[in-house]
Amino acid sequence: MASPPDTSKTIKLERYNSYLRRVNSTKLLNASSKLLFRATLLVALVLIFFFTLNYPPLSSDHAGGAHHLHNTNFLSSAFYGGGVGGTAWEKQVRHSSTPKRPNGMSVLVTGAAGFIGSHCSLALKKRGDGVLGLDNFNSYYDPSLKRARQAMLKKHEIFIVEADLNDGPMLTKLFDVVPFTHVLHLAAQAGVRYAMQNPQSYVASNIAGFVNLLEISKAANPQPSIVWASSSSVYGLNTENPFSELHRTDQPASLYAATKKAGEEIAHTYNHIYGLSLTGLRFFTVYGPWGRPDMAYFFFTKDILQGKTIDVYKTVDDKEVARDFTYIDDIVKGCLGALDTAEKSTGSGGKKKGPAQLRIYNLGNTSPVPVGNLVSILEGLLNSKAKKHVIKMPRNGDVPYTHANVSLALHDFGYKPTTDLASGLRKFVKWYVSYYGIESRVKKESSNNYKNMMSQQPEESA
Ligand SMILES: O=C(O)[C@H]1O[C@H](OP(=O)(O)OP(=O)(O)OC[C@H]2O[C@@H](n3ccc(=O)[nH]c3=O)[C@H](O)[C@@H]2O)[C@H](O)[C@@H](O)[C@H]1O
């Protein structure tokens, strides 16, 4: 009898084939679901893109030129992650911007994580005004310092919205949530010499960003009154002294100065067409605790302590370079004075209803100090000798001399600087060594040096 055929191999082969079919069909299923997922994501992104283009619905006043500005940073607005734009976020925005005193202001402070912005935000909050911050936390200088300022403000219940000035949808959203009475516009690309390295950043912040803010402010109802940061650098090659608001400002020496001057002209236009109340403040080399690491007094301190050589500029004709260094507390008083005397904007819904206030003020110390003296004061406070490398000022946009006449600000809101450079730098160094945890390195003798130095220093304040 023939033995039955051996089917075990056929059965094994069939099982194997059916296994392969199952695996393949699962793979096919996975591949097709991946494809479906990607297609859905693509459609969602396209929808978000178009939604952002049209969100919020543009009023007739936003049409045309403003349109592209609304989209410059659409991604940051499109992906309002982490609850931004949600109920909890709106609650935070409202809480921060609600005044705690009768007839208090509700102020949007742009550049709130910056040097002057953080000081002004705190001062406004302390007297009972509502403050909402806006800052893009860019890395022009160490962002961890900006984060530390943010943490300080948070302790005082000041919330900073993280967004760029060019983020139209975000700004419009903020004005939808809060009827700001004032804007203190301090966000900018600062620094005179950096403009040669990154010119576009000055155009993006100081011109495009400013115009975006003005577009949204003019369309807001109520329109806010705006106080904003211009600069002493607008005087450029002006040779009349001390600098008065009546002097010519059509010879800027740097692109930074040119963008600030452009801001002054742009302010004129928005005041003229839309009835926005606008006050520009020309700050003169502001310094102090929580200052900007890109400024000379700040990096001189760092370099002197590290034993590094510092470049001290002199003019092309071998004269000392001097600045009207102005202490932060004086500047804060000036900013609050300007806000307190700012009249209401007259327009509404983008239409001018009558003439509105347009002002420009110098905020300086009225007492220029040569950079060499600044270095001597720091040497005394730090108890260290600076390794000075005195060189002719490179062609980098610097001007040889600044000196403010502040009689207009004194007359209109009582601005009177009270801090001389030695006292102000002392407060700066105290903050610096504490912030960077190097108190022990700056020995006690520095206070003795300071006393000796003060007895030799000429009177510097006005
Ligand atoms: O009032 C303003 O509107 C501007 O003020 C500030 O500009 P400036 O007055 O140029 O300050 P800052 O750089 O600290 O140089 C101080 C001095 O040190 C000299 N300087 C500088 C660098 C160096 O290596 N050596 C040196 O001698 C230099 O020649 C100068 O004489 C702000 O940065 C700017 O954002 C803007 O707000």
Sequential DSSP letters for 288-354: -TT--TTSHHHHHHHHHHTT-EEEEEE-TTSPBPEE--EEHHHHHHHHHHHHHTPPPP--BTTB--S
Nearest atom in ligand 1 to 298's CA: 14
Contact (Cβ atoms closer than 8 angstroms) between residue 419 and residue 366: no
Query: How many CA atoms within 13 Å lie on the side-chain side of 331?
Result: 33
List the structure tokens of 91.
Answer: 């609650």
- Number of other residues whose CB lies within 10 A of the CB of residue 159: 19
- Say what the pLDDT of residue 442 is: 83
285 lines ligand 1 (CB under 6 A): yes
Instruction: Report which residue type is found at 361.
Output: Y
39-65, pLDDT tens digit by residue? 555 555 544 444 433 333 222 222 222
Atom 8 of ligand 1: nearest residue by CA position: 285
Residue 205 burial (CB < 10 Å; 0-12/13-18/19+)? buried
Distance, CA 193 to ligand 1 centroid (Å)? Answer: 8
Low-confidence ranges of the chain (pLDDT < 50): 1-13, 16-17, 19-20, 23-29, 31, 46-82, 445, 453-462
296 lines ligand 1 (CB under 6 A): yes
Cα 448 versus chain centre, distance: 37
- Say what the pLDDT of residue 63 is: 27
Residue whose tokens read 């347009």:
358
Cα 148 versus chain centre, distance: 15
Distance, CA 400 to ligand 1 centroid (Å)? Answer: 10
Atom 7 of ligand 1: nearest residue by CA position: 285
- Which helix (H) or strand (E) segment is 27 a member of? helix 8-54
CA–CA gap between residue 189 and residue 199 (Å, rounded): 10
CA–CA gap between residue 174 and residue 172 (Å, rounded): 5
Contact (Cβ atoms closer than 8 angstroms) between residue 248 and residue 260: no
Instruction: Say what the pTM is.
Output: 0.82
- Say what the pLDDT of residue 421 is: 98
The verdict on whether 287 is a catalytic residue reads no
- Say what the pLDDT of residue 177 is: 98
Interior angle at CA 72, CA 219 and CA 98, nearest 5: 45
Atom 22 of ligand 1: nearest residue by CA position: 296
Residue whose tokens read 């209803």:
353
Comparing CA positions, the residue from 362, 374, 408, 229 lying closest to residue 287 is 374
303 lines ligand 1 (CB under 6 A): no
- Say what the pLDDT of residue 85 is: 87
Which residue of the set 140, 256, 361, 432 is catalytic?
256
300 lines ligand 1 (CB under 6 A): no
186 lines ligand 1 (CB under 6 A): no
